[in-house]
Amino acid sequence: MATATQTFLNKETSTNHPVPPQPKPWPDRMVRYSGIAWFLAAAIGQWIFVFYVVLQYIPELVQFGLPGLANTTLPDGYIAGDMAGNLAIAAHVLIAIIIIGSGPLQFIPHIRNRFPRFHRYVGRVYIVMASITSIAGLYIVWTRGVPGGLVGHLAISLDAVLILAFGGLAINFATKRQIDRHRRWAMRLFMVVSAVWFFRIGLMFWFITTGGIGINPETFEGPFLTFMYFGQMAIPLLILEAYFLAQRSKNNALKSSVAVVLILATGAILVGTFAATMGMWFPRLI
Ligand code: HEM
């Protein structure tokens, strides 16, 4: 009888008073919240960039067609007689609006969980468009050239290769339903697609904090630019890998250190975005 009562009481205890979910320990929360802060700063900065691209290119293209590219600030934006090159540039900037505008939406859990079909649709469009615009970018770089010399050419071409490779891997793991691996490759893809934006805010961060040490404004070359040509991909990818490591690790010191790095990176993004908006994008529009 005693055993039956005990069993009954145990059952009561376990069904009527389920153990409440335990809050995550503070190092995990630090990683989570600093990751969210980083993401929000990046999303705001990217949407300001999109806003600039829309206002810089759409009115010219709508009003004058491809020759309108000559009125923009792009070096060699329009070359008479080079139809393929002009089309590649127009496609490149128009697609940029779609991918930079939609990329951050993919990481918002609310949208992903409540509208999974939207997530899948935007994801496919994002990867296809990022691949097309990278191929168009490669064509422009190697036919028209860009400031920055051979190092600049090679670095941005590497970015194109990484975009194609990471996009392929993200799709591959999504179709195999290996969701964790898909998530990781999609986040890496987002970082390399965002490299051109990181480059601009990194450059303006450097200008505002050092006055532009290591940059030759005539040739757009110099030690800092060589560092940034590759850093535009390497730095965000390293920060992302540190974030993944902190999520997996049980080491609180490591988690806290990564959270501090994320907070510092968030500050740098905010300063760089402010400097790029006020010093580069806004003046081009007025
Ligand atoms: C997929 C991510 C990319 C996005 C979102 C993107 C976006 C843009 C935007 C918005 C511009 C106009 C810049 C401005 O007005 O300041 C631009 C220019 C340009 N992009 Fe990209 N781009 C991407 C990747 C690439 C890649 C991979 C290449 C080359 C392989 C490339 C080559 C170029 C070139 C040559 C220009 C014009 C010249 C210049 O910036 O100096 N882009 N891109």
Q: Is the pLDDT of residue 147 over 50?
A: yes
Rounded CA separation 128/219 (Å): 34
- Domain span at residue 49 reads 39-285
* Inter-residue contact 41 to 274 (CB < 8 Å): no
**How far does the centroid of ligand 1 lie from the alpha carbon of residue 261, in Å?**
28
In terms of Cα–Cα distance, which of 13, 41, 30 is closest to 255? Answer: 30
Total number of domains in the chain: 1
- pLDDT tens digits, 151-202: 999 999 999 999 999 999 999 999 999 999 999 999 999 999 999 999 999 9
26 part of a folded domain: no
Of 72-76, 185-189, 221-225, minimum mean pLDDT range: 72-76
Of 24-28, 205-209, 252-256, minimum mean pLDDT range: 24-28
| Residues 238-258, mean pLDDT to the nearest whole number | 96
pLDDT score recorded for residue 286:
85
13 part of a folded domain: no
pLDDT score recorded for residue 1:
40
The ligand 1 atom nearest the CA atom of 130: 1
Residue with CA at minimum distance from ligand 1 atom 18: 93
Confidence of residue 9 (pLDDT cuts 50, 70, 90): very low
The ligand 1 atom nearest the CA atom of 160: 27
Alpha-carbon distance values, 74 to 93, 220, 244 (Å): 11, 14, 37
**How far does the centroid of ligand 1 lie from the alpha carbon of residue 260, in Å?**
31
173 part of a folded domain: yes
Residue with CA at minimum distance from ligand 1 atom 12: 93
Residue with CA at minimum distance from ligand 1 atom 10: 93
pLDDT score recorded for residue 2:
44
Rounded CA separation 80/65 (Å): 12
Residue with CA at minimum distance from ligand 1 atom 11: 93
277 part of a folded domain: yes
Burial of 58 (0-12, 13-18, 19+ CB in 10 A): middle
Residue with CA at minimum distance from ligand 1 atom 35: 141
- pLDDT tens digits, 89-138: 999 999 999 999 999 999 899 998 999 999 999 999 999 999 999 999 99
Mutate-to-test residue for ligand 1 from 134, 196, 197, 204, highest number of ligand atoms within 8 A of CB:
196
| Residues 214-237, mean pLDDT to the nearest whole number | 93
| Residues 235-246, mean pLDDT to the nearest whole number | 98
- pLDDT tens digits, 13-68: 444 566 676 767 888 999 999 999 999 999 999 999 999 999 999 999 999 999 99
Give the Cα-Cα-Cα angle 30, 35, 41 (nearest 5 degrees). Answer: 125
pTM here is: 0.89
Residue with CA at minimum distance from ligand 1 atom 9: 93
Helices (H) and strands (E) in the chain, counts: 11, 0
27 part of a folded domain: no
The ligand 1 atom nearest the CA atom of 159: 27
What is the distance, to the nearest Å, from the Cα of residue 243 to the centroid of all Cα atoms in its chain? 15
In terms of Cα–Cα distance, which of 25, 24, 28, 23 is closest to 258? Answer: 28
Q: Is the pLDDT of residue 273 over 90?
A: yes
The ligand 1 atom nearest the CA atom of 73: 15
19 part of a folded domain: no
25 part of a folded domain: no
Q: Is the pLDDT of residue 234 over 80?
A: yes
Residue 211 phi/psi, 5-degree rounding, is 80, 5
- Report the pocket of ligand 1 as residue ranges, CB < 6 Å: 53, 56, 74-75, 92-93, 96, 99-100, 130, 133-134, 137-138, 140-141, 146-147, 156-157, 159-160, 163, 193, 196
Mutate-to-test residue for ligand 1 from 50, 92, 134, 142, highest number of ligand atoms within 8 A of CB:
92
30 part of a folded domain: no
In single-letter form, the type of residue at position 99 comes to I
Residue-wise DSSP of 260-283: HHHHHHHHHHHHHHHHHIIIIIHH
